[in-house]
Every structure is written in C-alpha cells, then in structure tokens.
Amino acid sequence: MSDGNRPPNGLAPLNGHHHLPFRFSGGTEAVVRRRRSAPKALVFGIVGAALAVGAFTTVHIGANLRFDDAADSYQAIRTDTISARTALDSGVDGLTATTTSADQLLAADTGVLMDGIPLDDLTTAIADAKDETATAQELTAQDPPRLGEKPGWFWELFGTADLLDAQADDADALRTDLDAQLPVVEQADAAMVDAASTIVTGAAAAVPAFEAAHLSAKNLDIISMRTAAEDIAPLTTLDEDAVARFTALQASAAQVVVSQDAEMAEKAGPLLGARLEIEAFARSLAPGVLLEFDWAPIVNGAGDNGSMGGYTTWWWDEPDRSVILLSNSVAEQWPADRSKALVAHEVGHAISVKCEDMYDSSTQDSIEKWATAWAISMGFSDDANGVWAYGYPPESYIAAAAGCR
C-alpha cells in the first residue's frame, strides 16, 4: 500500500528494504581519514625559490666582494697618482719660477761686462724648460675620477667593478707618466741654473780685467763693481736674489764705463799722454792700492814758474785707496827725475794705508817725513822727493819705509 506521499527528495522509497542508519545505536564510529599530500608543483616551486634566493645571495655577495676589491685597488692607485701629480705640480712651479728668473737674467745683461761670455746655453735651457713645462702641465691637468657611490644591484656592482679596473689602469698609466716627467722637469731646472751660474760667475770673474781696462774710473765706482762681484757666488738656485745681484753687477760695470769716459774727458788735451804715463808709474809703485788721480794747474800752492805740487788723500778703511792730486807742471816736466821723485813722495802717502802701524801718523811733520823716507827707500834721490820741502827724514823712518811695499 502506498500513502501517496513522496519523500522530500522526490524519490520513491525502495519497497521491500529497510533503510539502515549510518550509525548503529550503541556502536563505535569508524572514521576513515585520507592524508592529503602537497602538490608536487608547489614543492618544486618552494625548493626552486630557495635555490634562487641562495643563488642570488651568492651572486650578490660575490658582486660586493668583486666591487670592494676593485674599489680598494682603484682608490690606492688614485691616491698614488694624486701624490705624483702634486709632486709634479710642485716641480713645475719651481721650474716656472726659475724660467722667469732666467729670462730676467738675460734681460739684465747690458753687454758691457759680458763680452766673450756665451749666453746661448741659457737661451737653449730656457726654451727646453718651457717645452717641458707644457708637457708637464698637460699631465697635471688630468684628474682621475673620484670613487662614486656603491651600486645596489649585483649587475651594477659587476659592471662598475669592471669600469674601476679600466680606470685603475688609466690612473696607473698616468701615474707612470707623472713620475717619469718629474725628473725631466728637475733636470730642465738644473740645466738653467748651471747655464746661469756659468754666466754669473763668468761675469764676476771678468771684473779684474774689466777694471784694468778702465783704470781712470773713480775709486768709488770701482769699489762698487768689486763689491757687486763679491756678492755673486756660484749659484745653487736661480731666483730673484740672484737676478738682483747680477743686475747690480751689470749696473756697476756700466757706471765704471761712464766714470772712465768722464775722467778721460777731463784729462784730454796735449798733456794726456804724459798724465796717463805718470798714473801708470804711480800704480806700479803701489800695487794693491786703488789710486785715483786728479789734475789741476795749481796744487798746494805750486804749479807755475816751474814749480810742482801734489796732494794726497787716503782712507784707512778697506779697501786700500787714495786720491792723488797733481799739478799740470808734473806732466809738463815728465819724465824728469824731479817729476818722478815728487810722484814717489805722493805715492808714499798713498801706500801708507797698507803700513799704518809702521809710523807715527799723529802729526803732519811725521806724516811728511814718512812719505819722504818712503820715496828715498824706493831709490828716488831728487830733493823733490820731499827733502826740499820737509827736510831729510830720520834713518829709522827710511828703514821702516823699506818694509812697506
């Protein structure tokens, strides 16, 4: 029989069968659980990711180490290169200063004192120095790049490390060139100093001959030239001071020429030849004493009517020097014995600067007796030797004067 009602699920019951529950009353529940395993793709993905992270880390660490090594190497080479550039810069500064002084030295040459002293070596050395300066400045103008910020990504680290290696090679090559140019610059500097030293010392060595060729120059002008020559020593550096000393020597030599010309103009005339002979004669009697001569018609109240006059001024300080004033009549009567005797008397005064401790110079009489004694000791017996004017000197004076030469 059927009741006409359908189950809620719309299925008809199965006739002749009982519906048993899934669970029997009072029984034990049997549960069967199935263990689920992770999909293989997920496992492989995780492992791959781990391997990728490890590989990235390894590469990144390697890239950092590679960069650090390259950076340290480049920085060390760059530091050495900058030091080499600084040293060359200093050498160029010195070379430039020396070159400037060398140019000034050449410009200071008046040609008066330097006859026969070659200037070509210095001119060539200056040209070479300017060439080497230009070469050095091309090198010192180069600046190795500074080390920049460290990149973050490994591919940037590797690329920058390669760039640093190349820059290190360039910096090292520049350092080599800088190091090689420094001794060249120093040699160019030394060549100019040597050439200038030859000129300067040559000029100083030329002074005695130059002085001998200008005997009529004023004593003070001769002394100035001598002093300027003494102030010049063999050069170890070529600087403003060396140029100033050389310039002073050139100027003093030029003044000697001016002085000589002025004195010769004063002595010009018919008595010139005799005057120059007398001056040479006087110098031969007193070697080492710087003598200057002046001439006048009347000296010491004498000079006319056949009389002769002389007057000498001397200085005890260095160098030994005197000025002898003679009347024109001494030249007019030259080379008479009386002229020679009078000149010898005046030279006796002049040479006393070498022998001031040999006689009493406190009185005029003693001074005149000394000059007379000196003329006698030299063999000039004419009474124009001072005997006529001052009397015969004591034998002790003559003996003492014989030791003054």
pLDDT, one tens digit per residue, over 338-374 is 999 999 999 999 999 999 889 999 999 999 999 999 9
Dihedral class, residue 300 (left if φ above 0, else alpha if ψ from -120 to 50, else beta): left
Could you tell me if 127 and 89 are in contact, meaning their C-beta atoms sit under 8 angstroms apart?
Answer: no
pLDDT of residue 181: 98
pLDDT at 330 over 60: yes
Backbone φ and ψ for 324, nearest 5 degrees, come out as: -110, 125
Give Cα separations from 68 to 57, 62, 65, 150, 175 (angstroms): 16, 10, 5, 9, 22
To the nearest whole percent, how much of the chain has pLDDT over 90?
74
What sections of 9-119 are H helices per DSSP?
Answer: 40-108
Half-sphere exposure of 135 (CA within 13 A, CB side): 16
User: Where do the domains of the chain lie?
Assistant: 43-211, 269-405
Out of 57-61, 76-80, 89-93, 254-258, which region has the weakest mean confidence (pLDDT)? Answer: 57-61
What sections of 120-271 are H helices per DSSP?
Answer: 120-140, 154-205, 207-212, 219-230, 240-267
pLDDT, one tens digit per residue, over 130-151 is 999 999 999 999 999 888 888 8
pLDDT at 59 over 90: no
Task: Please name which of 90, 87, 91 lies closest in space to residue 79, comparing C-alpha atoms.
Answer: 87
